[in-house]
């Protein structure tokens, strides 16, 4: 994506403040969590955004890291591009991307929405790409025809659809919002009905709300207005520091429980940071929270790894990283597509977690850790310092540590002293079991 989407409502707090506020709530240290607290990490947990699937060269820059799913939300795939004039359809870009993803066995999540000006209820309002795109459609019939046309064309090929990307909601955001909760629900109910009529196996997510705890308030408004009756998956953008994910997740769980949706899968369909890129010197801070500064490669790798590990430990089923190849946020350089340290870390964490079970993150002093298991039996621990400091740390003897693996994939035997250098960059401490 050439342009970053607008980030809203980031908490403007320091890293130290966030850590102090959040980590005391984590469970006390223990040798291993209860079996019920283990979450199996499926391959689709490691999902990505990508710029190039609709643009030449189509397959040259396919990720060299595991990718279970792709979120199709490029501007050329929005409603305003698929149907630029009423009844005139342009599916060439999405067709190209679908063929590529199918050839690689990658699941596709298509985000619905972004109204063409001809269909918009506010066609003179400037959007990121075209006028009127953020407003609801003037006619529900136009929306229904759009959803039906897309669903019929990709029946059996696209099984997961997202209702809308990061809408503002009048009940929470006031008059500046583009939607009322009721307007979003009307779109959701129509889309859900049409998708099920055309493909009974198709699933619809909630709108992907953003904004931390304010995002949870937006989700509350949507579900309370009837959105709980047309959702198969809850979609949320947990943007923030890695250590803020549990806070936002807890707020979202409460909202889901109030509306009878505690059983639904939870997907983080967009998350990332600004990452330094020597081929793209115009990187710049975008605001507060996780976008308040540009992260050097190694620091970005540590932030990425903690984000993935923490999210997996909470049972979040999918985590769509923003993004593989985007300018200023990529896991590769923008020019040349050289994988950076964060991209290497992404592949390492995917290798550590995929097909395994992860326990709850626990804290002992300034160290955070969680169990990694296979078939319910611990094979090691993931550990890092939660206060961002580097320390000499004695590995607990009860862990039976044999080797230490770092995010760059390097392994070494546990020192005879039993002490290792531990930092904010997670390591895998494998046990003799």
Question: Domain total for the chain?
Answer: 2
pLDDT of residue 56: 63
The CATH number that applies at residue 363 is 2.60.40
Q: Within its chain, how far is the Cα of 304 from the centroid?
A: 11
Q: Is residue 338 domain-shared with residue 280, that is, in the same domain?
A: yes
Assess contact for 346 and 308: CB atoms under 8 A.
yes
Q: What is the pLDDT of residue 61?
A: 81
Q: Which domain holds residue 385?
A: 14-40+357-433
Domain end among 296, 324, 354: 354
pLDDT of amino acid 20: 36
The structure tokens 């801070």 sit at: 285
Taking the alpha carbons of 276, 282, 283, 288 in that order, is the dihedral positive or negative?
positive
Domain boundary among 354, 385, 400: 354
Q: What pLDDT is attached to residue 241? A: 93
- Is the same domain home to 317 and 245? yes
Write down which residue in 337, 354, 371 finishes a domain. 354
Pairwise CA distance, residues 188 & 162, whole Å: 9
Give the pLDDT of residue 54. 74
In a 3-state reduction of DSSP, which class is residue 79?
A: helix
Count how many residues are written for the chain. 433
What is the SS3 assignment for 404? strand
- Return the structure tokens found at 308: 């993935």
- Does residue 359 contact residue 370 with C-beta atoms inside 8 Å? yes
Q: Are residues 64 and 202 in the same domain?
A: yes
Q: Would residue 80 be called left, alpha or beta, if left means φ above 0 and alpha means ψ between -120 and 50 degrees?
A: alpha
Closest CA to 380 of 334, 433, 322, 308: 433
Are the C-beta atoms of residues 403 and 414 closer than 8 Å to each other?
yes
Asked whether residue 291 is domain-assigned, the answer is yes
Is there a single domain that holds both residue 77 and residue 190? yes
Alpha carbon distance 136, 266 (integer Å): 25
For the domain that residue 243 is a member of, what is the CATH number?
3.20.20.80
SS3 call for 265: coil
pLDDT along the chain (433 residues), means of 10: 36 34 37 62 97 73 94 97 98 94 96 98 96 97 98 98 98 96 98 98 98 96 98 97 96 98 98 93 71 92 98 98 93 93 98 98 94 95 93 94 97 93 97 79
On whether both 402 and 295 belong to a single domain, the answer is no
Between the alpha carbon of residue 158 and those of residues 5, 151, 297, 367, 426, the distances in Å are 24, 8, 34, 42, 35
How many angstroms separate the CA atoms of 433 and 306, rounded? 24
Residue 274 zone, left/alpha/beta (φ > 0; ψ -120 to 50; rest)? beta
Residue 276 in any domain: the answer is yes
Does 3 reside within a domain? no
């Amino acid at each position: 994506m050439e342009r970053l989407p607008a980030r809203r409502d980031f908490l403007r707090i320091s890293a130290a403040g966030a850590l102090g506020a959040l980590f005391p709530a984590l469970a006390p240290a223990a040798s291993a969590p209860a079996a019920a607290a283990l979450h199996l990490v499926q391959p689709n947990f490691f999902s990505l955004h990508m710029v190039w699937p609709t643009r030449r060269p189509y397959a040259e820059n396919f990720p060299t890291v595991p990718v279970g799913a792709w979120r199709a939300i490029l501007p050329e795939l929005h409603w305003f591009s698929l149907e630029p004039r009423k009844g005139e359809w342009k599916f060439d870009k999405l067709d190209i991307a679908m063929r590529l993803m199918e050839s690689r066995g990658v699941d596709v999540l298509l985000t619905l929405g972004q109204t063409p000006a001809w269909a918009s209820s506010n066609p003179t309002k400037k959007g990121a790409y075209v006028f009127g795109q953020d407003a609801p459609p003037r006619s529900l019939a136009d929306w229904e025809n759009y959803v039906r046309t897309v669903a019929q064309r990709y029946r059996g090929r696209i099984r997961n659809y997202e209702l809308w990307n990061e809408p503002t909601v009048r009940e929470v955001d006031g008059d500046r919002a583009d939607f009322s909760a009721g307007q979003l629900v009307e779109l959701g109910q129509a889309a859900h009905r049409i998708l099920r009529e055309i493909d009974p196996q198709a699933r619809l997510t909630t709108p992907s709300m953003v904004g931390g705890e304010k995002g949870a308030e937006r989700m509350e408004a949507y579900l309370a207005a009837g959105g709980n009756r047309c959702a198969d998956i809850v979609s949320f953008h947990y943007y923030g520091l890695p250590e803020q994910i549990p806070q936002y997740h807890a707020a979202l769980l409460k909202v889901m429980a109030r509306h009878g949706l505690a059983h639904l899968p939870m997907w983080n369909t967009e998350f990332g940071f600004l990452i330094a890129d020597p081929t793209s010197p115009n990187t710049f801070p975008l605001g507060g929270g996780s976008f308040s500064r540009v992260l050097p490669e190694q620091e970005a790798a540590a932030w990425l790894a903690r984000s993935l590990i923490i999210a997996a430990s909470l049972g979040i089923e999918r985590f769509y990283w923003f993004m593989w190849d985007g300018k200023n946020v990529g896991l590769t350089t923008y020019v040349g597509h050289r994988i950076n340290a964060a991209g290497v870390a992404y592949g390492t964490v995917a290798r550590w977690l995929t097909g395994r079970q992860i326990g709850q993150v626990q804290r002992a002093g300034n160290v955070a850790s969680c169990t990694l298991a296979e078939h319910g039996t611990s094979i090691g621990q993931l550990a890092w310092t939660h206060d961002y400091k580097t320390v000499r740390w004695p590995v607990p003897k009860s862990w039976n540590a044999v080797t230490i693996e770092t995010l760059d994939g390097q392994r070494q035997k546990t020192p005879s002293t039993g002490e290792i250098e531990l930092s904010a960059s997670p390591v895998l401490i494998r046990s003799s079991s």
